[in-house]
Amino acid sequence: MNTIAQLLQNNKKKILENWMQNQLSDTSLRDDLISNEELRRQSDELINGLSRATAGGNVDNIYAPEYEPVVEILSDISITRARQGFSPRETGMYVLSLKQAIITVLQDKYSEQPEVLYKELLTVNNLLDMLSMVTFDTYIKGREEVILRQTDEINEISTPVIRVWEGILALPIIGTLDSARTQIVMENLLQEIVNTGSSIAILDISGVPAVDSLVAQHLIKTVSATRLMGAECIISGIRAEIAQTIVHLGIDLSNIKTKASLASALQLAFSMRSVEVRKISKNTGFHIGR
Amino acid sequence: MDRIPILKMGPFLLVTIQVDLYDRLALTLENDLISMVSKTGARGVLIDISAVSIVDSFMGRILGNIASMSRIMDAETVVVGMQPAVAITLVELGLTLQGVYTALDVEKGMELLQDKIGIFEDPEQEKEGPDDSDD
């Protein structure tokens, strides 16, 4: 049995005390997010796991099977912390303060044998650095999962395809257009064109905060794909600033039908489909369009 | 060897592609179609690709070629019924098939062709066919 494993086993209590002290003395500890008992339970579990894992003599490969429980506990802790809203620093400090605790014990024990102390310090350092890498990895993964889920939700709710008239679809785009969203917008629109057999689609971009050359390219792609399907595409909702940017960037939208407002796009669509909307007699007070 | 049937309907040729096109088949189709255009003096070619689910750049180029060749021989080409996935693929490949007319289905494609080459069975319907492609 190597020194670290022995050390962990014999001084478990002391290390845990040191560690808890380290964690609790850290001013940034979020005792509102996690209770002392919970913290102690987690820490105890991790030290136990670590002492079992090191017992086999392996102190430098944390991907070996005996480290699986340790990595699992750590991943669990950091993913939970990511979801609870801990900062990366707080999550990182959790493992790094264990290093401090073990080093203190090591120093006490080997103060007379500097060579052994040096060697052991290096090993402990290495091992815990690798473990803190695992923590960061999973912390970020946890965060990314949250972000991905939110992106998915936003994408789902933000690309409705509306059938405004027989043969006319409208697609209000709200929020920035990136390639992933364009893909979803395009797929939804094309599928809806097939489903409804519509021959005109109005792409309303009044909710798009800014149009740069990339967004314009995405728009052009969508228009081309619609054309390939055999339908016409009108882009509407082009605000003054957007028109300015488009011209300043030198983007050529000349072979795409563009309109300033959804109303005028709808009017164009009506005339393309030879549909006329007009006021009916005064008494009813009911009219559509302009 | 497989061949894709080319049907003559009045002044138009109708091609329905029911299988996934591989390169040789596409080339054969191009040859057959162009010789049919010259033999029958057709004024329009309608290609229905609603059953095609896979395209590549070669296939896209063949479609463009057929259109340009027919144009030289005074026949317009309409591609109808393209699947959304196919349209997205072609756009991503940068093939927007300029010069090829498109329509949602065979019916609308026929209307478009009649509109394009100015043949009307009934002069009263002259104003029909609102889905002009931009030229």
Instruction: Show the domains of chain A with their CATH numbers.
Output: 3-155 (1.10.490.130), 162-284 (3.30.750.24)
Backbone angles phi, psi at B96, to 5 degrees: -95, 10
pLDDT band at B78 (very low <50, low <70, confident <90, very high): very high
Please report the pLDDT score of residue B1 as a whole number: 63
- Candidates A189, A191, A219, A229: best to mutate against B (most CBs of B within 10 A) is A229
By the 8 A CB rule, do B80 and B106 touch?
yes
Average pLDDT for residues A36-64, to the nearest whole number?
81
pLDDT band at B128 (very low <50, low <70, confident <90, very high): very low
Sign of the four-CA dihedral A60, A62, A65, A66: positive
Please report the pLDDT score of residue A107 as a whole number: 85
**Percentage of chain A exceeding pLDDT 90:** 10
| Long-range contacts (CB closer than 8 Å, 24 or more residues apart) made by A112-117 | A116/A3
- How many Cβ atoms sit within 10 Å of the Cβ of residue B34? 18
**Rounded CA gap, A133 and A84, in Å?**
20
Please report the pLDDT score of residue B54 as a whole number: 84
Residues 36-95 of B with CB under 8 A from A: 79-84, 86-88, 90-92
Please report the pLDDT score of residue A31 as a whole number: 66
Please report the pLDDT score of residue A270 as a whole number: 92
Average pLDDT for residues B55-81, to the nearest whole number?
89
CATH code of domain B6-127? 3.30.750.24
Please report the pLDDT score of residue B45 as a whole number: 92
pLDDT band at B127 (very low <50, low <70, confident <90, very high): very low
The pTM of this model reads 0.61
Question: Is it the case that residue A169 has pLDDT exceeding 90?
Answer: yes
**Rounded CA gap, B50 and B48, in Å?**
6
Give the Å distances, CA to CA, from A32 to A26, A236, A283. Answer: 14, 50, 66
DSSP classification of residue A116: H
**Whole-number mean pLDDT of chain B?**
83
Give the Å distances, CA to CA, from A226 to A66, A94, A185, B65. Answer: 56, 54, 11, 21
**Rounded CA gap, B49 and A140, in Å?**
46
Question: Is it the case that residue A234 has pLDDT exceeding 90?
Answer: yes
Residue of A nearest to B99 (CA): A228
Q: Where are the domains of chain B?
A: 6-127
SS3 B91: helix
Average pLDDT for residues A27-33, to the nearest whole number?
68
**Percentage of chain A exceeding pLDDT 70:** 94
CB pair distance less than 8 Å for B104 and A274: no
In chain B, where do the E strands start and end?
A: 6-9, 12-16, 44-48, 76-80, 101-103
Q: What is the pLDDT of residues A247-282, one digit of tens each?
A: 888 888 888 899 989 999 999 999 998 888 888 877
Q: What is the pLDDT of residues B11-54, one digit of tens each?
A: 899 999 888 888 888 899 999 999 999 999 889 999 999 888 88
Average pLDDT for residues A22-39, to the nearest whole number?
75
Q: Which residues pair with A234 in a beta bridge?
A: A202, A257
Please report the pLDDT score of residue B103 as a whole number: 92
Which residues of chain A does B82 touch, with a Cβ-Cβ cutoff of 8 Å? Answer: 228-230
